[in-house]
Structure 1
Amino acid sequence: MLPRPALDQSIPAFSKETSEYVLLAWCTLGEKCISDCDAQFSLLPPGSALMAQLVRRGPLPQLVSEGVELRYIAPPGHEHPSGQVDFWKYAKSLVGKELPADTSAKGLTPSGVMHLVEGQALFMANGIPALPYRDDGVIDPVDTRRVLALGLSAVHAPRAVREVRRLIRNTRPEVAHVHNVFPLISPAVYRVLAEEGVPVVQTLHNVRFLCPNGLFYTRGAICERCKWGNTLHAVRWRCYRNSVTASALYALSIGVHRRRGTFAGITRAIALTPFTAQKMVESRLFRADQLDVLGNFIPDPLPEARPAPPVHGYVAFLGRLSEEKGAHLLIEAARRLPDVPFRLAGDGPQREALERMARGLPNVELTGKISPDRRWEFLCGAALVVIPSTVYEPFSLAALEAMVCGVPVIAARLGGLPYLVQDGVQGHLFTPGSAAELAERIRDVLGDPAGAHHMGQAGRRLVEERFTASHHLEGLMQIYGKAMTEEVRR
C-alpha cells in the first residue's frame, strides 16, 4: 500500500484587528463513500457534504448571504475521482441513471459553487464526489477542500455604478471612453451607460474580456481555453497570479457578464492591432463591424532619430524580465554569438534566473531597470532591439520606441508583433521560442550594416506616419463620431 501523504493543517492568515469577515466551513458527513482499498467495493455512492457561513465581524456580528458567492475547491490531485473507483461505470444500476465522469448523483463536481439554503444564511454543497484516494492512487482519506468567499464587487460594484450614474446625469457626456473596469468598477457600468443613452467606446488593451489573466497564457504556454466563455478553466490552472482566489474572482466576473450579455452595451471597441480584433471576432464577443484598430503612440515631441548606427552597437532588450517576455532566449542566442555584446535592461521575477543563465558569458550584461530619461540613450546605442515574447503581445511600445530612434527590430512572429514589424522592412521576424533562429536573424542584421540602417529608417517613418499623438487623436475623434452616430440609430 502506498503511504498516506502528510495532512496540510495550515490555517489561512487571519488578523483580529483588520479582518472584516470570518468564514466558517464544516463537513457534516465526512468521507462516507469508500471503506476499503478495493476499487470495486463501495458502501455508498461517492459523495460528501460541505456547509459554510460567512460572518461579518463587529459589535453585533452579522451572517452574510447577499453580494457574495461561496465556492469549494478540490485539493490538487483530487480532480478526477472517477479514475480510482468503478462507481461511474455502473452508475445506472446503482443510482438509476448514467452520470458524467467525476459528477455525483446530485450533479456536483469536485470543485464548484455552494448554494444558499432557502430561508437561512447557510451555504451548502451536498453530494461532492470525494474519495479517500488521490488521482495517482495514493490513499488520502482527508482530502481537505478549500472554501472561498468571493465578494461580487468585480461582478457588480453598487457604489461605482451609483457614482457613474450620478456623473452622467451631472455632465451629460456625448460619449464615454472606457479603458479598464476590473476589479473596482465592474462591467456593470456598461449597463448604466446604455440605460442613460451614452455611447461607449472601449479600448481593448489586452484580452481580459476573454481570459481572466488577460494574456491567453498560462503555465509557460499559449492558452485559449476560456475564449469561448467557460472561464472556470482559469480557476483550475490558477491563471491569475497563481492564485485560486484571484483567478476565481476574475473568472466569475467575466463569465457572469458574458452570459448576461453585459458587453453588448459597448458601442464600439478599439483593438490595438488586427490580431486582437481577430480574437474578439473569433470569440463572438464583438462583431467585426464594431471594431476599430488604433494602436498606441509615442508622445510629442518625438525623440531625435540617430543619424547613423553606432560603430560598436549591442543587441538590446528593454522590458519586464518575466517568463512570457522571452528574455531567456537572448541569453541562449548569446551563447551562439560569443563575439556579439548583449544588454538586457529591466527588472522582474525572472532576473535572478537570467543572471544565473548569464554566468560565464562575458558578452551578456543585465543592466537592471533604467530611468526614463536614459531610455532613449540606451536604445540609440543599440545595433538592434529584440522583442522575443512567447506570449501574444496585443501591441509593443518597446518596438515603437526602438523604431522612433531608427533602430531595427527583431520580433517573435506572434500576436500583434507582425503588424508592427514587417519582415525585411522594419526588421525581421523569427519563430517564437527558437533561440537558434533568433541568433541567425541577429547575425543577418549585424552582417549588413547598410540594410540595418535602411530598416531603422523605415521604422522611423512608420512611427511618424501612423503612431504619433496627432494621428492617434484624429483616429479617436473618428471613432467617437461613429459611436455617437450608431447610438442615435439604436
Structure 2
Amino acid sequence: MKILMVTTFYPPHNFGGDGIFVHRLTNMLARHGHTVHVAYNVDAYNLLSDNHLPADAPSDESNHPHVTTHPLSSGRLASVDMLAMHQLGMPLFKEGALRELLEDAHFDVVHFHNVSLMGAPRIFTYGKALKLCTMHEEWLVCPMHILWRYDREPCTQRTCLSCTIHGKRPPQWWRYTGAIERAGKHIDAFIAPSRFTSEIVRKNGFPFDVHYIPYFFPDDMLLPVDTTTPIDFLQGRDPSRPYFLFIGRLERIKGAQVLIDVFKRYPHADLLIAGRGTYEPELRRMANGMKNVFFTGFLSYAQLRLLYARALASIVPSICYETFGWITLESYANRTPVIVNDLGALPEVVNEGGGGFTYKNEADLIAAMDALRTQPGLRQRMGDQGYQSYLDHFTEQRHLEMYFGLMDQVRRPRV
C-alpha cells in the first residue's frame, strides 16, 4: 500500500509528540512493507524555532528506506505564506506542491495529522484517496489548539474570539464560515488517540464521528535494561536516594512547577526533571536552593530507560487537556508505575491499565508517592500491570489491526 502522511511538523523539524508519533507510525508502516511519503512544513518549524534544529532530533537518515520525505518551503516568502494559511485556512505558495502530492492517483491513503499550518481545512478537499485525519490536538475546535483558556486554565466555556486576542493571535475568520463542516465531509475517518479527546471535541461542536485508535509503543524500542549500569550523567546527587521522575517539555502547561512546589515539603525522595523548553529558566529559579530537585537536561532514550528502571514512578502533572499522555505509555513499556493528574486523557490509560494512581489534589499526590515509596511490592505489581496493559492494547500489532481495520470499515468506492 502507498500512503501519504501530511503534517505540519516532522523530525528533525519538530517540537512535540505529534511529530514523533508521525515518525513512529511512518517507519512502522514502512517496516511492514508499505511505501510511505511524508509532506511537512519546514517553514513552520524554522520560523517558530528561529531556525534552530535540535541536535538530538531524528534525522532524515533515521527513516526506513521505504520512506520518502517532502519538506515544503516557500523560501523568502515563508512568513507571508504562514500568515496566509493561518488566516485563510487554505494553502497559498505551497498549494501547487500540495495539490501535486494529494492528487497523485498512486496513493491509496492520505493520512492528515496536525495540518493547521499546511493549509487546512481546504487541503482536506484535495485528491480522491481514502483520507484519515488524526487529532493530536484539538485545533479543529480550538483556535489556540489545546483548549487552554486565556493561557491560564483548561477551557470549560467557549470564548474563542477573546481568548485568541488574549493569546496575541489574529482571529481566524474562516472558522465562522462553515469551512470545517464543508471540508470535513471529504475525510473518511477522523481519529482520536483517546476516548476523552473524542468526547471533548464533540462537546465543543465538532460535527463528525471520531474513531478511537490509541497510540502505540514501537517494538524496536523494547530493549533489555542493565540495572547495574551506573547513572553517570547526574552530577551531585546521592545515588542511594529514591526518586520520582518527570519527563517532558518544560512548558508551563506540563505542570513541572506543581511538583517543585510539592517537593519543597517532601524530603523523602528526589525529583528528577528530564527535558527542556521555554519554561526551564523559571523552573530552575523556583527550584533554586532545593537539595532534592535535579534537572537532567535532554537525555537520550537509552539514558531515560535507565532512569525509568530505577524510578519509584513517573509523574505526569499536566494542567492542560492532554490528548493521550506519551509518558504513561512509555512508563508502561518500561514496567514503571505512573502517577497522573486526573485531567484530560491522562486518567484513561491509568484507570484501564491499573499501572498507577490518579490524583485530584496535593494530598492525593503525596499519598500515591508515599504508597509507592514505602511498599516495594506495590511498585512491582503496578509496574507489571502497566506492562501487561501495554501488551494488551498498545503494541505495534494492535495498532496495525485497528488502523487497517478502520480503513476497511470506512472504505468507499473512489469516483
Same-fold call, TM > 0.5? yes
Establish whether residue 266 from structure 1 lines up as the match of residue 187 from structure 2.
yes
Query: In the superposition, relative to structure 1, how do residues 203 and 297 fare at CA in structure 2: closer, same or farther (>3 Å)?
Result: same
Q: Mean Cα displacement is larger for which, 173-182 or 383-392?
A: 173-182
TM-superposed CA distance for 1:482, in Å, is 1.8
> Which residue is equivalent to 1:374?
303
TM-superposed CA distance for 1:327, in Å, is 0.5
Establish whether residue 210 from structure 1 lines up as the match of residue 141 from structure 2.
yes
> Which residue is equivalent to 1:166?
100
TM-superposed CA distance for 1:325, in Å, is 0.7
Query: In the superposition, relative to structure 1, how do residues 170 and 390 fare at CA in structure 2: closer, same or farther (>3 Å)?
Result: closer
Given residue 248 of structure 1, which amino acid in structure 2 is its aligned partner? P
Q: Is the Cα contact below 8 Å between 2:243 and 2:269 reproduced in 1?
A: yes
Aligned pairs for 1:58-69 within 5 A: none
CA distance in 2, matches of 1:315, 1:150: 41
CA distance in 2, matches of 1:260, 1:266: 11
Given residue 170 of structure 2, which amino acid in structure 1 is its aligned partner? A
Deviation per CA, 1:75-113: give whole Å up to 9, x if none.
Answer: xxxxxxxxxxxxxxxxxxxxxxxxxxxxxxxxxxxxxxx
> Which residue is equivalent to 2:123?
189
CA distance in 2, matches of 1:224, 1:266: 28
Establish whether residue 335 from structure 1 lines up as the match of residue 264 from structure 2.
yes
Q: Is the Cα contact below 8 Å between 1:315 and 1:384 reproduced in 2?
A: yes
Q: Is the Cα contact below 8 Å between 1:333 and 1:436 reproduced in 2?
A: no
TM-superposed CA distance for 1:459, in Å, is 0.6
Q: Is the helix fraction higher in 1 or 2?
A: 2
> Which residue is equivalent to 2:55?
none
Aligned pairs for 1:20-419 within 5 A: 151-154=83-86, 155-193=89-127, 197-218=128-149, 219-226=151-158, 231-238=160-167, 244=168, 247-248=169-170, 251-256=172-177, 258=179, 261-287=182-208, 290-304=209-223, 312-419=241-348
Given residue 204 of structure 1, which amino acid in structure 2 is its aligned partner? M
Q: Is the Cα contact below 8 Å between 1:325 and 1:388 reproduced in 2?
A: yes
Counting matched residue pairs gives 323
Given residue 298 of structure 1, which amino acid in structure 2 is its aligned partner? F
Query: In the superposition, relative to structure 1, how do residues 368 and 262 fare at CA in structure 2: closer, same or farther (>3 Å)?
Result: same
Q: Give the 3-state SS of the residue equivalent to 2:191 in structure 1.
A: strand
CA distance in 1, matches of 2:403, 2:352: 29
Deviation per CA, 1:298-352: give whole Å up to 9, x if none.
Answer: 1122424669999853111011111111111211221222121111111122222
Query: In the superposition, relative to structure 1, how do residues 381 and 277 fare at CA in structure 2: closer, same or farther (>3 Å)?
Result: same
Given residue 215 of structure 2, which amino acid in structure 1 is its aligned partner? N
Query: In the superposition, relative to structure 1, how do residues 149 and 469 fare at CA in structure 2: closer, same or farther (>3 Å)?
Result: closer
TM-superposed CA distance for 1:236, in Å, is 2.3
Establish whether residue 472 from structure 1 lines up as the match of residue 394 from structure 2.
no
Q: Is the Cα contact below 8 Å between 1:220 and 1:323 reproduced in 2?
A: no
Query: In the superposition, relative to structure 1, how do residues 257 and 370 fare at CA in structure 2: closer, same or farther (>3 Å)?
Result: farther
Q: Is the Cα contact below 8 Å between 2:103 and 2:126 reproduced in 1?
A: no
Q: Is the Cα contact below 8 Å between 1:161 and 1:192 reproduced in 2?
A: no
Establish whether residue 451 from structure 1 lines up as the match of residue 374 from structure 2.
no
TM-superposed CA distance for 1:423, in Å, is 8.0
CA distance in 1, matches of 2:190, 2:257: 35
Query: In the superposition, relative to structure 1, how do residues 164 and 356 fare at CA in structure 2: closer, same or farther (>3 Å)?
Result: closer
Q: Is the Cα contact below 8 Å between 1:187 and 1:257 reproduced in 2?
A: no
Deviation per CA, 1:373-426: give whole Å up to 9, x if none.
Answer: 312112112111100011011011111111111111000111111111118921
CA distance in 1, matches of 2:199, 2:214: 15
> Which residue is equivalent to 1:422?
351
Q: Give the 3-state SS of the residue equivalent to 1:261 in structure 2.
A: helix
TM-superposed CA distance for 1:442, in Å, is 0.7
Query: In the superposition, relative to structure 1, how do residues 469 and 259 fare at CA in structure 2: closer, same or farther (>3 Å)?
Result: closer
Deviation per CA, 1:184-203: give whole Å up to 9, x if none.
Answer: 3321111223xxx4332111
Structure showing greater relative contact order (alpha-carbon pairs closer than 8 Å, 6 or more residues apart): 2
Q: Is the Cα contact below 8 Å between 1:257 and 1:263 reproduced in 2?
A: no
Larger Rg: 1
CA distance in 1, matches of 2:353, 2:227: 19
Deviation per CA, 1:197-227: give whole Å up to 9, x if none.
Answer: 433211111101011221111322112544x
> Which residue is equivalent to 2:29?
none
CA distance in 2, matches of 1:170, 1:423: 42
TM-superposed CA distance for 1:281, in Å, is 2.0
Q: Which runs of 5+ in 1 are unaligned?
A: 1-147, 239-243
Query: In the superposition, relative to structure 1, how do residues 423 and 466 fare at CA in structure 2: closer, same or farther (>3 Å)?
Result: closer
**Please, what is the CA RMSD of the aligned residues?**
2.9
Given residue 136 of structure 2, which amino acid in structure 1 is its aligned partner? H
> Which residue is equivalent to 2:5?
none
TM-superposed CA distance for 1:256, in Å, is 4.1
Task: Report the TM-score, using the length of structure 1 for normalisation.
Answer: 0.60
Q: Is the Cα contact below 8 Å between 1:306 and 1:406 reproduced in 2?
A: no
Query: In the superposition, relative to structure 1, how do residues 165 and 321 fare at CA in structure 2: closer, same or farther (>3 Å)?
Result: closer
CA distance in 2, matches of 1:405, 1:418: 18
Query: In the superposition, relative to structure 1, how do residues 153 and 436 fare at CA in structure 2: closer, same or farther (>3 Å)?
Result: same
Q: Is the Cα contact below 8 Å between 2:105 and 2:129 reproduced in 1?
A: no
Task: Report the TM-score, using the length of structure 2 for normalisation.
Answer: 0.71
CA distance in 2, matches of 1:334, 1:358: 9
Query: In the superposition, relative to structure 1, how do residues 438 and 393 fare at CA in structure 2: closer, same or farther (>3 Å)?
Result: same
Query: In the superposition, relative to structure 1, how do residues 298 and 260 fare at CA in structure 2: closer, same or farther (>3 Å)?
Result: closer
CA distance in 2, matches of 1:231, 1:257: 16
Query: In the superposition, relative to structure 1, how do residues 149 and 410 fare at CA in structure 2: closer, same or farther (>3 Å)?
Result: closer
Given residue 221 of structure 1, which amino acid in structure 2 is its aligned partner? E
Q: Is the Cα contact below 8 Å between 1:161 and 1:188 reproduced in 2?
A: no
CA distance in 1, matches of 2:82, 2:221: 46
Q: Give the 3-state SS of the residue equivalent to 1:420 in structure 2.
A: helix
Query: In the superposition, relative to structure 1, how do residues 366 and 311 fare at CA in structure 2: closer, same or farther (>3 Å)?
Result: closer
Query: In the superposition, relative to structure 1, how do residues 258 and 165 fare at CA in structure 2: closer, same or farther (>3 Å)?
Result: closer
Q: Give the 3-state SS of the residue equivalent to 2:313 in structure 1.
A: strand
